[in-house]
Amino acid sequence: MVELTRKQREMERRTLEILRVAKPILVREGFHALSMDRVAAAMEYAKGTIYNHFPHKEEIVLALAIESMALRRKLFLAAAALAAPNRVRLMAIGCACEYYTQHCSDDFAIEQWIRNVNVWDKSSAARQDLIRRCEGECMSIVSSVVHSGVVASELVLNHALTAEEFVFGFWAITFGSQILTASSPSLAAVGILDPRRAIRIHCCTLLNGYRWQPIMQTDEYLNRVDELSTSIQSEFDRVRAEHYTA
Amino acid sequence: MVELTRKQREMERRTLEILRVAKPILVREGFHALSMDRVAAAMEYAKGTIYNHFPHKEEIVLALAIESMALRRKLFLAAAALAAPNRVRLMAIGCACEYYTQHCSDDFAIEQWIRNVNVWDKSSAARQDLIRRCEGECMSIVSSVVHSGVVASELVLNHALTAEEFVFGFWAITFGSQILTASSPSLAAVGILDPRRAIRIHCCTLLNGYRWQPIMQTDEYLNRVDELSTSIQSEFDRVRAEHYTA
DNA sequence: TGAAAATTTTGACAACGCGTCAATAATTGA
DNA sequence: TCAATTATTGACGCGTTGTCAAAATTTTCA
């Protein structure tokens, strides 16, 4: 029994080592460059051994994405845990998104791979489930903040929109802008010089549009987000460091 | 001279034929399934001949994306040409996006491939330029509508935001929601049953947030978008049919 | 018209990656 | 100690990419 768990632990340790080897290859050189032969060579194992851990490289990508999404979730939790008005807590989650994209850019890049149909369809139901669950948890962290706002009567959501659908709008605008910023050929050329600032303004306007109290003017909002983003950064740094050492 | 152009025309005709063969493979079976051998076999040519037209399959993908984006541009133009208040014209462009995603889903799927770094980085500067130009044109169609709104004093954009940055917000939320809808593992499971409706509501609230006249209540807006979407559909169908026959 | 020159097409080929599996090595248990 | 179990190995079959010399076709021009 003890022997068995020791073997299992060794197995797990090597699984993690594979992920550590694979991550920089995937992020730095792309999916194409990530080959089982190369991972095996880097670890000085035979290819077959790698296949004992992962049935194909798509599964490695999903395993990496699960780690990345776990980090995102931790950042969301840290942001939502802020002792502040609900609207500010939502802003803090927005800061978490920005932080994640900027300071955990490898993880952000990895997250995108699972949207590739080839990768997704090939991977195991178990890992797909983990991804879905993590996505669901991220969603419920955010929607619980919205719920709190509704309960506190800072926000009125009429029959037209559920809290989750409300969150979906912010998810879409944040996600969309980050993908466009990362992958759209030269936003600057079409006149978008500071996409992050633009999106912050849109989010403020949208929150005001829904009359989420306290209403903030654009300039005030921008200042407060800047402050918030600075003050919460060390907490995010801590969460990130802990995630990477664990 | 005449001989030369005849040859050139034949060459071009075959280039188009390659694209016609490649498109369903890419859309239906993914990038992985699209191989030069297969295209060659389907056209009953040798592989080398295909390589005379495209240096690698990534270039085929970009060529397809250029066609797809051209269709998007035409739909945007048709929407913007509507004889209606500027805010309604912007709504019509939103309808064009929805139409494109739903009724030109192959093209929508193809557009996403160019966001893949491997595909983008491998392809020629000439085609990259075409893509960028088309993206820029789409942007300026939309931002010209916004400009008209500003000129007509229906909308006030303060120093905080340019028309392009204003458009970027709608681009991000529309694009983001469509990507999430297409690729996020089960939105329904996290409580988002009708993402399109949710995004329409968000767009309405955002426009109202910016006080773009005429202000519309959510229900009124939803009704008008529905009407608009129905009434403009035949025009979109026409544009689409013309695009595919040409 | 015909033959040489220019151009295009062809498919065999080398290189490489995937995933398998029989052979080999290491570990375990009695 | 040794048989049974388990893990590791890497050669192999298959498929894809991109190349290139040879073959086929077209053009040129006398």
* pLDDT band (50, 70, 90) for residue B31: very high
pLDDT at residue A145, rounded to an integer: 98
Considering only CA atoms, which of B100, B86, B92 is closest in space to residue B144?
B86
Contact state of B168 with A199 under an 8 Å Cβ cutoff: yes
- Maximum pairwise Cα distance, chain B: 64
pLDDT at residue B4, rounded to an integer: 55
| Span B110-134, average pLDDT | 94
* CB within 8 Å of B92: residues ≥ 6 apart: B79, B80, B82, B84, B228, B232
* pLDDT band (50, 70, 90) for residue B9: confident
Q: What is the pLDDT of residues B184-221, one digit of tens each?
A: 878 999 999 999 999 999 999 999 999 999 999 999 99
Contact state of B164 with A128 under an 8 Å Cβ cutoff: no
3-state secondary structure of A193: coil
Contact state of B136 with A190 under an 8 Å Cβ cutoff: yes
Q: For residue B115, give how far its alpha carbon lies from the nearest alpha carbon of chain A (Å).
A: 6
| Span B104-116, average pLDDT | 95
Q: Which of B141, B196, B197, B202 to mutate to test the interface with A (most CBs of A within 10 A)?
A: B202
> Using CB atoms within 10 A of its CB, is residue B213 exposed (0-12), middle (13-18) or buried (19+)?
middle
- Measured to protein CB atoms, the chain C nucleotides within 7 Å are 8-12, 16-22, 28-29
H or E element at residue A179: helix A163-183
Q: How far is CA A117 from CA A31, A131, A198, B113, B196, in A?
A: 13, 14, 31, 11, 22
Q: How far is the CA of B49 from the C1' of C14 (A)?
A: 19
Q: How far is the CA of A49 from the C1' of C25 (A)?
A: 13
**Of B128, B173, B197, which is closest to A185 when you measure between CB atoms?**
B128
| Span B150-178, average pLDDT | 95
pLDDT over 60 at B55, yes or no: yes
- Measured to protein CB atoms, the chain D nucleotides within 7 Å are 7-11, 15-21, 27-28
pLDDT over 50 at B90, yes or no: yes
| Span B168-187, average pLDDT | 94
Contact state of B205 with A210 under an 8 Å Cβ cutoff: yes
Set of chain B residues whose Cβ sits within 8 Å of the Cβ of A128 = 185
List the single residue in A with minimal CA-CA distance to B189.
A136
Provide the CA B26 distance to its chain's centre, in angstroms. 17
Amino acid making up residue B154: E
| Span B136-153, average pLDDT | 97
Set of chain B residues whose Cβ sits within 8 Å of the Cβ of A201 = 160-161, 165, 169
C-beta neighbour count of B20 within 10 angstroms: 12
Q: How far is the CA of B211 from the C1' of C18 (A)?
A: 57
pLDDT tens string, chain A, 246 residues long: the values are 344 577 788 899 999 999 999 999 999 999 999 999 999 999 999 999 999 999 999 999 999 999 999 999 999 999 999 999 999 999 999 999 999 999 999 999 999 999 998 899 999 999 999 999 999 999 999 999 999 999 999 999 987 899 999 999 999 999 999 999 998 878 999 999 999 999 999 999 999 999 999 999 999 999 999 999 999 999 999 999 999 998
By percentage, how much of chain B surpasses pLDDT 90? 91
Cα separation, A77 vs A97, in Å, equals 12
pLDDT at residue A4, rounded to an integer: 56
Q: Which domains does chain B have, with CATH numbers?
A: 1-54 (1.10.10.60), 70-245 (no CATH)
List the single residue in B with minimal CA-CA distance to A206.
B206
pLDDT over 80 at B3, yes or no: no
Is residue B67 within 8 Å of residue B132, measured between CB atoms?
no
Query: Which of these ranges, A186-190, B150-154, B175-179, B195-199, has the smallest mean pLDDT?
Result: A186-190
